[in-house]
Amino acid sequence: MNAIDSSYGIYAAETASTELEIALEELRWQGFHILRDVLTPDEIREGADRLDAVLANQEEEFGLENLDRISDRNLARVPLAYDPWFLKVATHPRVLAVARALIGDHIILHTQNGILNPSDAVHHQSKWHRDIPYQEWTSSRPIAMATLFCFDDFSPKTGGTYVLPFSQKFDKFPSEHYVGAHELPVTAPAGSAIMFDAMLYHRAGSNSSGKIRRGVNNVFATPILKQQIDIPRMLGPDFPENDEMARFLGYTTVVRESVGDYRANKLKRLP
């Protein structure tokens, strides 16, 4: 017997049976969903090694002392600009299918950050936040979706993600009492993708496992939101392989420098 058959006074109900339908319903209601077995064991190992290499590159590039001063340590920003392997992660077809169904066909990669959470260390991602920060409003439909690809197991012991279910529907952050009563640890094995509405309040937990916990967060958004970092400028004009990739990476929605530049760009895009 299904839920509607065992109820009364209900004439309409959602149906969800496919992977896509289940993901969309959970994202729209509770604000998050776990997509399992997105990455293969080989991809998990390769992703962890490549993320470590990108982080080491950025630490050498900017300096650990400077990263500490701006609270950016153990954070690899836009790893796809340092290693194109991470573009394969950002364009995973199972994930993009959900993002486009939730937000719309025209989405851009707003942000890509590799997050490394060492054992017994404080990470700035441990503070409650939204992935579109400093915004105390909500929208009738989602405007951005974050997807955290897990290269290691996410659990309370490894410092996995905590969420406040349904918080994407409210403007303000709730009281300390409410947070303590309703915060929820998200448990996901390596290879999973933790998907959540970018307006859902969440935080990283405390890692006591003795090992590093790694993940790569990708935020997919409607192009009315400006990218956190100018990805087209980082990659250069010749990077996209096709028009669809150019649109996804934000090449078609960059702020134009002048009226002439705006018109020349429109002229260039005509068939």
- What lies within 8 Å, CB to CB, of 244 at 6+ separation is none
Q: Are residues 150 and 190 in contact, defined by beta-carbon separation less than 8 angstroms?
A: yes
| Alpha-carbon distance values, 269 to 104, 230, 231, 243 (Å) | 21, 21, 20, 10
Asked if residue 167 has pLDDT above 60, the reply is yes
Asked if residue 57 has pLDDT above 60, the reply is yes
Write down how long the chain is.
Answer: 271
- Out of 43-47, 52-56, 153-157, 195-199, least confident range: 153-157
Asked if residue 121 has pLDDT above 80, the reply is no
Q: Are residues 31 and 168 in contact, defined by beta-carbon separation less than 8 angstroms?
A: yes
* More confident call, 6 vs 67: 67
Question: Quick one: average pLDDT of 189-218?
Answer: 96
* More confident call, 270 vs 50: 50
The pair of three-digit structure tokens given for residue 227, joined into one six-digit string: 């990218």
Backbone angles phi, psi at 125, to 5 degrees: -75, -5
Question: Quick one: average pLDDT of 208-227?
Answer: 95
Region of 250 please: left (phi>0), alpha (psi -120 to 50) or beta: left
The residues facing 111 across adjacent strands are 219
Question: Quick one: average pLDDT of 100-113?
Answer: 97
Q: Any alpha helices (H) in the chain, and if so which ranges? A: 19-29, 41-62, 64-69, 85-90, 93-103, 176-182, 231-235, 243-248, 259-268
Superfamily of domain 19-229: q2cbj1_9rhob like domain (2.60.120.620)
Residue 51's pLDDT is 98
| Alpha-carbon distance values, 174 to 1, 104, 200 (Å) | 37, 29, 12
Residue 40's pLDDT is 98
Spell out the domain ranges in the chain.
19-229
Asked if residue 125 has pLDDT above 80, the reply is no
pLDDT tens-digit readout, 70-102: 999 999 999 999 999 999 999 999 999 999 999
Residue 143's pLDDT is 97
